[in-house]
Structure 1
Amino acid sequence: MTNTVRPRPLIELTAAVAASPEVVLAAVEAAIRAAGGGRIEVDRVRRTVAVQGGWWYRGEYEVEATAGGSRLTHRVRNVARRGRWAVPLANRLFVGYRARTSCGFTAFVRDLNVEFGGPERSTLET
């Protein structure tokens, strides 16, 4: 991680995926690379993928092993070095940012579960 202090997430979402952590990590990395943009960091030991772009955005994905496959957690952090205070304000003005992030994550998890034979609906924790 670029910053030594990890700012508290603006958004944190977690859901179950019916596949091994290695498979889920590879799928997350592939999806981020396909989307393009930003600097991508992959830590296979910790099972994390992060993408950082723009002046404030850092999206982090963490994969943990569970009895039924994996738990995928997505966090959005404000890593702005200047004007940090403006990010939460700007995001409130971008009405629906949290909802769009949640919908995108839910759709991604659903697609993974369909691909790997899990349930189409996964409980989303926020």
Structure 2
Amino acid sequence: MRKKLVTEVAGVVAAPVEQVWQALLRDLPSHEAGDHTLAYQGGWWYRGEWSVTAHPEGTRVVHRVYDVAEWMRWGVPLANRFFIGFPKRTREAFAEGLARIGNQLGCSAKLA
């Protein structure tokens, strides 16, 4: 599969990796799960991947959005208005999800 990174955002949740991993699995829609990595593919171009790793303050959570279009690749930027504001919207949605996980686990969560 061809993947082109569109945007990336990260944050830290002040909780152990396994707790954050389980909360992330509950928080996200249908997905493909691997070893502390999960993905959600939607539409003809979008693939979101999340991963969790140990961090000195708890757990680092990374979210990457990829363009995985196999056909009509030229249409992806047009369909997304050349991604104007897309990184900002992705960061805002990620921050909300991170805060939700922090609230569920009773700990702090912040963008990196």
Q: CA deviation at 1:111?
A: 1.9
Number of matched residues? 112
- Give, in whole Å, the separation in 2 of the partners of 1:88 and 1:94: 6
**Which letter maps to 1:87?**
V
- Give, in whole Å, the separation in 2 of the partners of 1:112 and 1:29: 10
Give the secondary-structure state (helix, strand or coil) at the position aligned to 2:28: helix
Larger RCO (CA under 8 A, 6+ residues apart): 2
- Give, in whole Å, the separation in 2 of the partners of 1:96 and 1:72: 22
Provide the residue aligned with 1:112 in structure 2. 101
- The 5 Å alignment of 1:18-97 reads 18-33=14-29, 40-44=31-35, 47-93=36-82, 95-97=84-86
List, as ranges, runs of 4+ consecutive aligned residues in structure 1 with deviation greater than 6 Å.
Answer: none
Give the secondary-structure state (helix, strand or coil) at the position aligned to 1:84: coil
Q: CA deviation at 1:26?
A: 1.6
TM-score normalised by structure 2 residue count: 0.85
Structure 2, unaligned runs of 5 or more = none
TM-score normalised by structure 1 residue count: 0.77
Of 7, 18, 22, which residue of structure 2 is paired with 1:11?
7
Give the secondary-structure state (helix, strand or coil) at the position aligned to 2:72: coil
Q: What is the percentage of aligned positions where both structures have the same residue?
A: 38
Structure 1, unaligned runs of 5 or more = none
Per-residue Cα deviation, 1:56-107 (whole angstroms, up to 9, x for no partner) = 1100001011122100000010001011222123323565332221111001
